[in-house]
Amino acid sequence: MATLRPDPLPLEGRRILICRPQPEADRLATVFCDAGADARVLSLIDREPLPEDPVTRTLILGLDEFAHVIAVSPYAASLLLDWLDTWWPQTPAGIHWYGVGAGTAAVLASHGLNARQPETGHTSEDLLQLPELAALDHEKVLVVRGQEGRELIPQTLEKRGARVTTLPLYRRYCPDYDEATLRAMLNDFAPEAIVTLSGETLNNLIALSENTGHNLEDTLLVVPVERIAEQARLAGLRRTCIPGSLADSTIVAAVAEQLASLDGGSGNNK
C-alpha cells in the first residue's frame, strides 16, 4: 500500500526577515515558521512611551470634550487605554472612536469601545472615507499617535471644519545593532523576502544595507501600501508585495504567492 506523502508547506525552507517592532515581529515570525519558513527578526523600528507631562494629562482628563477620538495604530490605542484605566474609571460617553485599520479597532474594542474602522483597507486615506468624518462643523477631534507622524488626518479633518488636537503618546527609533549582527542577518542569512511595514522601517533597512554592502535589488520587500512601494521604487527596489491586509496570515499567504510567482518567472524552483 502506497504511503501518501504530506503536501509541502507553502514556504518550506524560505528565508524571511521580519523588521517589525516587538511583539508583532515574533508573532508574525511564528506564523511564517508554521508555514515552513526560516523566519528571523531584525526589528528596525522600536517604540517607547513618552513620559507623562501636564499637557498629556490635561488632554486625557478633558477627553469628554472631544466628539471623535482616532487612534492611528494598535500601539497608540493600547497606550491610550492605559491612560483611560488610570484616569477614567468609567469611559466617557458620547465619543465616536476610530481605529486606522482592523488591528487598531480591535484593540479599542477589547476595552468595550465601539470602534469604527475603514470599510476596506487599513490606511489613513481609507479611514477618511468614512461618512462620519465627511463634515465636522467645529467638532473637536483628538488624534492619538506617535511623536512624529503623517499629517494627513489632522490636515484633512481641519479642512472639513474640525478642531483637531494631536496627542503623541510614544516615540519611534531605530535600534542600535553591531556590524556583526547586521552582516549575519542581511549578508549571511540572505533573506528572500523582508517585511517592512512602514516608510521609516524601509528607510532604515536601505541605510543599513548600504552600510553592510548588502544588495536589496533581488529581495522581495513586503510593504503595507502603494505609497511605500513607490518609495522603494524611487530607491531602485522594484520587487515589492502589498498584502490585502496586515493580518499575519494574509502577509504570509501573500509572500508565499509572490515567491512562487517569482520562481515560475525565473524557472527557479526551490
Question: For the segment 134-148, what is each residue's pLDDT rounded down to a tens digit?
Answer: 999 999 999 999 998
pLDDT band for position 173 (50/70/90)?
very high
Domain boundaries, the chain: 15-45+175-266, 48-172
pLDDT band for position 214 (50/70/90)?
confident
Q: What is the mean pLDDT of residues 226-237?
A: 94
* Four-CA torsion 250, 253, 255, 257, nearest 10 degrees: -140
Phi and psi at 113, nearest 5°, equal -90, 135
Cell numbers that stand for 259 in this block: 515567491
Architecture of the CATH domain 48-172: 3-Layer(aba) Sandwich (3.40)
Q: What is the mean pLDDT of residues 9-24?
A: 94
Q: What is the mean pLDDT of residues 188-206?
A: 95
pLDDT band for position 7 (50/70/90)?
low
Share of the chain above pLDDT 90, in %: 81
CATH number of 15-45+175-266: 3.40.50.10090
User: Comparing 15-45+175-266 with 48-172, is the CATH topology the same?
Assistant: yes
Q: What is the mean pLDDT of residues 123-142?
A: 94
* 111-114 contacts, C-beta under 8 A, 24 or more apart: 111/81, 111/84
pLDDT band for position 2 (50/70/90)?
very low
